[in-house]
Amino acid sequence: MSMGKTGVRGLVAVAALIAVAGIAPAQTRVVAWNISNYGGTDRAADIRNVVYGVIPAPLALQGTSMSPDIIALQEIQSAAALATFVNVLNTAPGSPGDWAGAPYVNGNDTDNALVYRTGRYTLVGNRTWTISVGASASPPIPPRNTYRYDLMPVGYSAPTSMISVFSSHMKAQGGTDDDLQRLTEATRVRDNIEGIDTNPTPENDGMPVGSNPILAGDFNGQSSSESFYVELTSNQANNIGRLFDPINTPGTWNNSMAFRFVHTQDPSGAGGMDDRHDQVLIGSSLKDAAGTPAGWHYIGSPTLAYSTSTWNDPNHSYRAWGNDGTSFNLTMTTAGNSMVGATIAQAVINCAPGGGHIPVFADFRVPATATTSAATINFGSVRVGSLAPTRNLTITNTGNVALWGANGIDTLNYSFGAAAGFTVPAGPQSDAAGGTGFTHTLSMPTAVIGPKNATLIITTDSPEQPTLSVTLTGTVLPPNAAPTANAGPDQGLTDGDNSGTEVVTLNGSLSSDSDGTIASYVWRNGGTIVLSSATGNVVLPVGVTTLTLTVTDNEGATGQDSVQITINPPSNNPPSAVAGGPYIATDSDDNGFQSVTLDASGSSDGDGTITNYEWKDGPTVLCSGPSPTCVWNAPVGTHTVTLIVTDDDLATASTTASVTINPITCDTIDFNNDASLFDPQDIDAFLSVFAEGPCVPETATCNDIDFNNDGALFDPCDIDSFLAVFAEGPCRPCGQ
């Protein structure tokens, strides 16, 4: 869920402070450390132990080390000493090996310096800014130079993403003008934060506008009421340069047991731990409080005072390294040291010869970075009054978790501006680093017709992306217009194969939708669907059929049109008349007539049936009816008969056939064909063949035994006719 800026930061801060003094692979850790006249020839092992020594079990911070990112150093004697210190850090077990030193400036007395991790920070311009020049025995001028180092986190570029670390070593207590010298230095620091050129040169050395100031050093102050401290932290007309104690622990620190957990001097001398000389102060932009500028933030609750009962204050990341509160007015505890253990505690002491100091640090979060899941969101086109379309937009805190860790990146706070024509989330929104972002639902109301176009501005507290913009587009359309169906013109076809049906091509492709697209086509014959596409073939019967085309558009509206399809029966082809013949017969009884059967069964009708056969001899109808045959008692002679066939569509065809009725005639009397007429041998031959014997003589060739040619073989009438003709009488049929 999304929550307000204050709530999210509070929850993140509480979670982070569970292990605020652990190894700092995530959050930024800034250290102030007066290393006591460091010349680079000693304390290498102790420095490594202080910085990267691992706290033993079973202590609360077991397995962790100080592991800082930036160290503001005091009492560095030379550039060579600084180079040695950097090398010591880079060769320490557990070190990332990316330490570098800011350019060393050799000022009066021992000097301040700064070392930083290049894997996380860039020294802007690779420059050390001298913002206050010190001098020996010249009150109110302070005895040492004060330097500023502008550091930009890797991956950032905005001016407000930069931190400016001031390294300061103020005048020690003692003398008549020590407070005045500290005040002078404090005034220069505050003025420089306000952008004032505090060390006039051809180049303005004022802190860049928007940078986040951190003052880290040995202040040599004993009370928050001292004038220098008041100058640094008080409310003035111009509060740009005002600094704050992140642990909100004012008071008289010197020799007060109430502050035993934050004392930093002296871990090794006879006076013991009884002063809070070493501190880290922060600008207002680094205070983790609601309503403050976005960007860098101290990990902790700067409105709460540091605990007076435990060093492991859950409300602060600020620590006086090695001070577990058991060393008030004593040398710092080693055996039984509940914060860092004996080994590291002893290394801290060894690094503070002659009544020196212990490191003090505070942890910070780098600014959030931001991105949107889309630069343009199109809500599409919807109808007026329809359900408002929604789209998702994810806002993500894109801080580099691999480099800074989720706890080392500030929570991203943002809000949506108005976007005319669209509905966007209201109120402040937040997204912690390390997640997949926060997804919001945007919508486009549909009450007003017309195109929608707006630029949504998301205002964030990321210095890198103070605003994000997303283009929103969409269109609210008028009410949906129904589609127009076009079933095509009426059609008339003929049953081409006389099957009673015909294939018909339907075409509804001229249907249209003026404000969308047609999603479906359905053709119906009554209530029956016959086709479900714009075009296609259907089979319809002979007759008139009305089909209805229904088209449905992409929004469910419909339109209809009908088409009338007429399937005509096929055009009739006339039948084919086949009369048979020629018909030849003999008047077998010599009565002048002979019966013949006329046969028209060879006639046909390719597209129907023949319903009547009519036979005529001239104008005389011989037969008429459905039978293809006709029996006619034809007179002797040659006749031409006409056949007329009629089909089921009353078409006719005709043809003729010849009918010949021959009179009865007898064969030649020379039966054995020996060229001898009226030869008794012909009688013998006839009778022999009639008796199914041989022709006489056997070498002769006899005629057919049907002598009277009446078509009857072995007929006694043939004997009578043969004998009558042999006697030179007439040929006669049987019975005469």
Phi-psi label, residue 248: left if phi above 0, alpha if psi -120 to 50, beta otherwise: left
689 and 625 within one domain: no
Could you give the dihedral angle defined by the CA atoms of residues 333, 335, 337 and 343, in that order, rounded to the nearest 10 degrees? 100
Question: Is residue 163 domain-shared with residue 249, that is, in the same domain?
Answer: yes
* Inter-helix orientation angle 79-90/44-52, to 10°: 50
Tell which residue, 412, 403, 401, 407, has the closest CA to residue 367: 412
pLDDT at residue 731 tops 90: no
Other Cβ atoms closer than 10 A to 291: 7
Q: Which two tokens stand for residue 6?
A: 């204050």
pLDDT above 90: residue 496 = no
DSSP 8-state symbol, 125:
G
How far apart are alpha carbons 620 and 654 in whole angstroms?
15
For residue 10, is pLDDT > 50? no
The encoded tokens of residue 543 equal 């007759």
Q: How far is CA 554 from CA 378, 388, 548, in A?
A: 19, 18, 20
User: Same domain for 275 and 342?
Assistant: yes
Q: Does residue 434 surpass a pLDDT of 90?
A: yes
Query: Does any domain span residue 181?
Result: yes
Domain boundary among 343, 365, 387: 365
Q: Please state the separation of Cα 693 from the chain's center in Å.
A: 113
Identify the domain containing residue 713 by its residue range: 664-736
Inter-CA distances, 341 with 58, 169, 306, Å: 10, 29, 22
> 212 and 100 in one domain?
yes
Region of residue 329 (phi > 0: left; psi between -120 and 50: alpha; otherwise: beta):
left
- Give domain status of residue 608, yes or no: yes
Pairing state of beta strands 146-153 and 163-169?
Answer: antiparallel
Whether the upstream peptide bond of residue 213 has omega within 30° of 0, thus cis, is no
Distance of CA 394 to the CA centre of its chain: 15
Q: In terms of domains, do 254 and 321 share one?
A: yes
Asked if pLDDT for residue 14 goes beyond 60, the answer is: no
Q: What is the pLDDT of residue 733?
A: 64
pTM for the structure as a whole: 0.71
Contact status, residue 443 vs residue 419, Cβ threshold 8 Å: no
Q: Which of 11-15, 137-141, 214-218, 315-319 has the lowest mean pLDDT?
A: 11-15
Query: How many domains does one find in the chain?
Result: 5
Q: Are residues 531 and 645 in the same domain?
A: no
Q: Is the pLDDT of residue 130 over 70?
A: yes
Do residue 99 and residue 245 come from a single domain? yes
Residue 2 lies in a domain: no
What's the chain's average pLDDT? Answer: 92
- CB contact at 8 A, 616 and 598: no
> Is the pLDDT confidence value at 518 over 60?
yes
Tokens of 532: 């479900």
| Closest among 659, 660, 655 to 579, alpha carbons compared | 655
Q: In this predicted model, which residue has the larger pLDDT, 497 or 314?
A: 314
CATH of the domain at 504: 2.60.40.10
Q: Where is pLDDT greater, at 450 or 718?
A: 450
Residue 281 lies in a domain: yes
Q: Are residues 449 and 587 in the same domain?
A: no
> Residue 70 CB: number of other CB atoms within 10 A?
25
Within this chain, do residues 598 and 537 fall inside the same structural domain, yes or no?
no
CATH number, domain of 131, equals: 3.60.10.10
pLDDT in tens, 131-185: 999 999 888 999 999 999 999 999 999 999 999 999 999 999 887 789 999 999 9
**Separation between Cα atoms, residue 5 and residue 486, nearest integer Å:** 62
So what's the pLDDT on residue 449?
97
Q: What's the Rg (C-alpha) of the chain?
A: 63
DSSP-assigned beta bridge partners for residue 552: 520, 558
Residues 236 and 336 in one domain: yes
Lowest mean pLDDT segment, chosen from 12-21, 554-563, 602-611, 672-681:
12-21
Cα–Cα distances (Å) from 159 to 124, 296, 429, 464, 552, in that order, read 11, 12, 24, 9, 61
Confidence of residue 23 (pLDDT cuts 50, 70, 90): very low
Same domain, 321 and 448: no
Per DSSP, the three-state class of 723 is: helix
Residue 574 in any domain: the answer is no
The phi, psi pair for 690, rounded to 5°, reads -60, -35
Average pLDDT over residues 191-217: 95
Tell which of 309, 341, 365 closes a domain: 365
Structure-token match 């978790």, residue found: 401
Instruction: Please give the average per-residue pLDDT across 240-269, as a whole number.
Output: 97
pLDDT, position 736:
56
> Rounded to the nearest 5°, which phi and psi values hold at 424?
-125, 160
pLDDT in tens, 522-556: 999 999 999 999 999 999 999 999 999 999 999 99
CA atoms within 13 A on the CB side of 373: 14
Domain final residue, candidates 365, 388, 413: 365
In a domain, residue 536? The reply is yes
pLDDT at 3: 39
Please report whether residue 732 resides in a domain.
yes
Which is nearest to 362 in space by CA: 215, 250, 233? 215
Residue 94: pLDDT over 70: yes
pLDDT value at residue 26: 65
Chain segment 651-672, per-residue pLDDT in tens: 999 999 999 998 878 888 888 8
Res. 293: pLDDT tops 60: no
- Please count the helices (runs of H) and the strands (runs of E) in the chain: 9, 36
Residue 410's identity, in one-letter code, is D
Alpha-carbon distance 724 to 200, whole Å? Answer: 178
Give the count of beta carbons closer than 10 Å to the beta carbon of residue 703. Answer: 17
Q: What are phi and psi of 160, to 5 degrees?
A: -80, 0
Nearest C-alpha neighbor of 120 from the set 247, 30, 218: 30
Instruction: Note whether residue 453 is domain-resident.
Output: yes
Residue 230 amino acid letter: V
State whether 527 and 672 are in the same domain: no
The β-bridge partners of 640 are 658
Give percent above pLDDT 70 in the chain.
95
Q: Is the pLDDT of residue 4 over 60?
A: no
Are 578 and 552 in contact by the 8 Å Cβ rule? The answer is no
Determine the Cα–Cα distance for residues 712 and 586; give it in Å rounded to an integer: 11
Place of tokens 């000097």: 111
Average pLDDT for residues 307-317, to the nearest whole number? 97
Alpha-carbon distances of 112 from 35, 146, 208, rounded to whole Å: 10, 7, 21
Q: What pLDDT digit, counting tens, does each position of 321-380 carry?
A: 999 999 999 999 999 999 999 999 999 999 999 889 999 999 999 999 999 999 999 999
